[in-house]
Amino acid sequence: MIHSRNRRLRVNESMRGLVRECTLTTHDFVMPIFVMEGENKEEPIPSMPGIFRRSIDLTVKECKELFSLGVKSVNLYMKVSDHLKDNTGKEAWNKDGLMQKTIKAIKDAVPEMIVMPDVALDPYSIYGHDGIIENGKIVNDATNEALAQMAVSHAEAGADIVAPSDMMDGRVLVIREALEESGFTDVGILSYAAKYASSFYGPFRSALDSAPKDDMEIPKDKKTYQMDFHNSREALNEVFKDVEEGADIIMIKPGLPYLDIVSKVRESIDVPIAVYNVSGEYAMVKAAAQNGWLDNDKTIIESLTCFKRAGADMIFTYFAKEAAMILNR
Residues annotated as catalytic (active site), given as ranges? 195, 253
Question: How many Å apart are CA 177 and CA 187, to the nearest integer?
Answer: 12
Task: Report in angstroms the alpha-carbon separations of 59 from 37, 200, 301.
Answer: 11, 25, 25
Which of helix, strand or coil describes residue 73?
A: strand
Question: How many Å apart are CA 111 and CA 129, to the nearest integer?
Answer: 33
Residue at 108: amino acid letter: D
Which of helix, strand or coil describes residue 181?
A: helix
238 among the known binding-site residues? yes
Question: How many Å apart are CA 316 and CA 276, to the nearest integer?
Answer: 5
Question: How many Å apart are CA 73 and CA 168, to the nearest integer?
Answer: 25
Residue at 38: amino acid letter: G
Which of helix, strand or coil describes residue 293?
A: coil
Question: How many Å apart are CA 253 and CA 200, to the nearest integer?
Answer: 10
Taking alpha carbons only, the member of 164, 152, 179 closest to residue 121 is 164
Cβ-contact 134, 142 below 8 angstroms: yes
Beta bridge partners of 250: 191, 273
Taking alpha carbons only, the member of 311, 316, 249 closest to residue 281 is 316
The CA-based dihedral angle spanning residues 270, 114, 238, 195, taken in that order and rounded to the nearest 10 degrees: 130
How many Cα atoms sit within 13 Å of 92 on the Cβ side? 32
Binding residue ranges for Mg(2+)? 238
| Known binding positions | 238
